[in-house]
Amino acid sequence: MPETPDHTSWLTHFEDFEKTLNGQATSPIHSLRKHAIAAFERLGYPTSQDEAWKTVNLAPLRRAEFRPAPDADNRTLTQECVQLATFPNLDALRMVFVNGAFRQDLSDLTHCPQGVEIRSLATAIASQPDLIAQHLAKQATYEELAFTALNTAFIQDGAWVHVSKGVILESPIHLIFISSPHQEPTVSHPRSLIVVDENAQATLIETYIGPEDIAYFTNAVTEIFVGPHALVDHYKLEQEGRSAVHISNHQSVLGQNSVITSHAFTLGGRFVRNDVHSRLAGESSESTINGLYVLGNDQHVDNYTLLEHAEPNSPSHELYKGVLGGNARAIFRGKIYVHRIAQKTDAYQSNQNLLLSNNARVNTKPQLEIYADDVKCSHGATVGQLDEAALFYLRSRGISSDRAYRILIQAFTGEVLDQVRSEPVRECLSQLMDRKLEEIQSL
């Protein structure tokens, strides 16, 4: 396949996009778009010369020219993806997006409680642009991140969620992003903006899904603002197709005494890049970011995480685990950054990997960058294979080889899955993991 044309082709796409905006061209949001496309023009696509991408094989991005996704018209495919993305027995407020555009006919917001605003970002931008401008791109900055700049330049629709002060939201909010591409490679830019005010509580779920064996590119950005004394439980499930490229930037900023717990589960896609940045901007805030990736065939996942301690007395916890078979490859680069003011920081980071084949590969690089004196920080990484002694022990007690193999892997992945608070979500994730492991074993 031909190499990707020069990145300046996106300037032409942006000009075409501007023509569709009509009266929005003078809004504060469009000024943001224009600054973002200028940043992308300056940055260009990442190369091996970029520190954050130097060990990443960008071949899947260079094999095709991804064009902006048109409006989806494949109703059968869309309905199938919605069904696959829905968690059985989970009573959730559901927003569905197809190629980044909100689909009210597939969504279910009928029981949205008072004090919670859930609507399409396009509607929110049109009706309250000044409010959206106060938060949009304030944490997910684009000046040095090419794909975030590209997403920001093409902001048109997405999810806007606002949980008002003191509201405890009982039902999770489930955002389902479906790619429904045509025969030529396409790209969509999903955008989510979440604001949870003081003393409020909310559970958020993001699911990304698309068809198998069709090349497409999902370039997603999520910003979560957690107010003082607020609590957010967040889950991301990536189930893209076997030929898909998925790049995401998840940014959260925490107020005083607030808590966020975020879990990322990576099962699909050919090339996946997850940037996760949690900024503990309020004293005594707490952030947990966990990840679990199960890969086979020629899949690649790159997890790039940053826990930034900007105020004192703020603990953080990070656990990323990977199971790789076939020719899969994973890269983990995690950093704990402690500002000078952030005394009494207590931070822990761990990356653990299990290789199920001789051809699977992992590069892992946990890092600490500490400028405060009174802290307690640690990090570690492991890469290994299944314990033959443990396998022998199980088999000697009448357990089959396949069952023993599965028991040990489930014990390894369970440390992350057990932290999922929602039982319907945990059960569904366990089943998805089991099916993925069966797929890897059958290779």
Per the CB < 8 A criterion, the answer to whether 225 and 139 are in contact is: yes
**DSSP-assigned letter for residue 47:** -
Per the CB < 8 A criterion, the answer to whether 301 and 266 are in contact is: yes
**DSSP-assigned letter for residue 106:** G
Confidence of residue 52 (pLDDT cuts 50, 70, 90): confident
* CA pair distance 327, 333, nearest whole angstrom: 20
Tens-place pLDDT, residues 66-85: 888 876 656 666 778 888 89
pLDDT at 2: 36
* CA pair distance 279, 300, nearest whole angstrom: 27
Six-digit token string for 184: 């030529």
Q: Is the pLDDT of residue 26 over 80?
A: no
Sign of CA dihedral 119, 123, 125, 129: negative
Which has the closest alpha carbon to 96: 113, 79, 111? 79
Q: Where are the alpha helices (DSSP H) in 137-237?
A: 146-153
pLDDT at 130: 84
Residues facing residue 329 across a β-bridge: 300, 361
Number of residues that this document lists for the chain? 443
Q: Which residue matches tokens 């022998």?
A: 392
Mean of the pLDDT values across residues 179-206? Answer: 92
Q: What kind and span of H or E run contains 60? A: helix 59-62
Per the CB < 8 A criterion, the answer to whether 123 and 184 are in contact is: no
pLDDT at 229: 98
Strands 101-102 and 93-98: antiparallel
Tens-place pLDDT, residues 368-408: 999 999 999 999 999 999 888 998 889 898 998 888 888 99
* CA pair distance 315, 254, nearest whole angstrom: 12
Global pTM reads 0.94
Sign of CA dihedral 260, 265, 266, 268: negative
Mean of the pLDDT values across residues 180-197? Answer: 89
Percent of the chain topping pLDDT 70: 94
Confidence of residue 443 (pLDDT cuts 50, 70, 90): low
* CA pair distance 162, 280, nearest whole angstrom: 20
Mean of the pLDDT values across residues 177-182? Answer: 84
DSSP string, 131-171: HHHHHTTSSS--TT-HHHHHHHHT----EEEEEPTT-B--S
Residue 158 vs residue 81, higher pLDDT: 158
Q: Is 302 exposed, middle or buried (0-12, 13-18, 19+ CB in 10 A)?
A: buried
**DSSP-assigned letter for residue 168:** B
Residues facing residue 68 across a β-bridge: 187
Per the CB < 8 A criterion, the answer to whether 269 and 240 are in contact is: yes
* CA pair distance 406, 96, nearest whole angstrom: 34
Tens-place pLDDT, residues 279-323: 999 999 999 999 999 999 999 999 999 999 999 999 999 999 999
DSSP-based three-state secondary structure for 341: coil
Q: Is the pLDDT of residue 133 over 60?
A: yes
Which has the closest alpha carbon to 161: 191, 188, 138, 141? 191
Six-digit token string for 217: 């590119």
- For the chain, what is the mean pLDDT? 91
